[in-house]
Chain A
Amino acid sequence: MVKLRARCLLLGDAAVGKTALSHMFHNDGTLFQKNYSMTAGVELLMKCVNIPETSDSVELYLIDSAGKQTLVEACEKMWGELSMLCLVFDLTSEQSFVNCSYWMERVRAHCQGLHIPGILVGNKSDLTARREVQASVAQEWAQSRGMEYHETSAKEKENCDALLLSLAQTFHSLYQERRSAIQNLSPG
């Protein structure tokens, strides 16, 4: 049995639904916040996820950071040492998808060479008529960066669990990989 801990940053443009998603994670989808209140700083939520078919679990410390450009610099000071990235865009906004590259670069610079595993999330999948980003395009973008891609609707509570599980499993696999590498080390 292993209990892993990961500091996971939720990042993406303003109003793509990062806070809505993180609240869904936190209250297991019982409440979708209908009024919009922009996150001005950083919010921290903890969620424990069990890895199926094992007795292992991952405690995710989710950091919901403001996506508004003018606030990013101040928020970055509170990101800390990150373990994972959950990059979110709005399926009805092409621009929010294009900006994912910018956010990736920002995180890469922040982490100074340490590889940060992550997943890509297209949110607001319930707004089918207004969709601007095709699944195949997003999928390809994610794949080329070694990330898994998921589509969710925080409003319809669609796929939120799958998202959490994917985050936890990504970190769990990284741990297993590192552990077997250490087992095969030669003595100093």
Chain B
Amino acid sequence: MIDPPLSSLGAKVVVVTSGDEEHPPENIIDGDSRTFWMSTGMFPQEFIICFAESTKVSAVTVDSYNVKHLKIEKNTSRYASQFESVTEKEFEHTDGHLQSNSISLNGSSATHLRFIITSGYDHFVSVHRVSVPQLPS
């Protein structure tokens, strides 16, 4: 089953620490791994995804390039503040193709997910897709 793009479920990227107009943060949640958001230098880098409503998240899949270490935080507030740490992961380096990592988030509810890239395998990293597998309702 293919997960619907997060943007079609009303999710938005509300915070991002780098900006290239040609590669906007919306590319992270459009469900298409050919489009991407790119960091523009130095670490850490982060982005925050806001769901339309409180959502049960069992896992996220992150398609990226040159990301080395990723931390994920969440909250259940209406505002993008007061995050609690959920998990962190070291990604394997890939050459010539995207990294694809599934990260378990133990099924808790969240309104915001915060992704903090603390280091990379190169000066710049890109994030192509973040998707959340839909739980059977």
Contact = CB atoms under 8 A, between A and B. Distances in A.
A2 B19 contact: yes
A1 B22 CA distance: 8
A108 to B, nearest CB: 15
Contact of B40 (A5, A182, A185): A5
Contacts, number: 68
B89 interface: no
A61 to B, nearest CB: 7
A188 interface: yes
Given A2-B19, A3-B19, A182 B126 contact: yes
B51 interface: no
B124 A179 contact: yes
Given A174-B123, A178-B123, A182-B65, A187 B41 contact: no
A32 interface: no
B42 A5 contact: yes
B58 interface: no
A185 B104 CA distance: 26
Nearest to B98: A188
Contacts of B42: 5-7, 61, 81, 83
Top 9 A-B pairs ranked by shortest CB distance? Answer: A188-B98, A188-B100, A5-B41, A2-B20, A4-B40, A5-B42, A4-B41, A186-B97, A178-B124
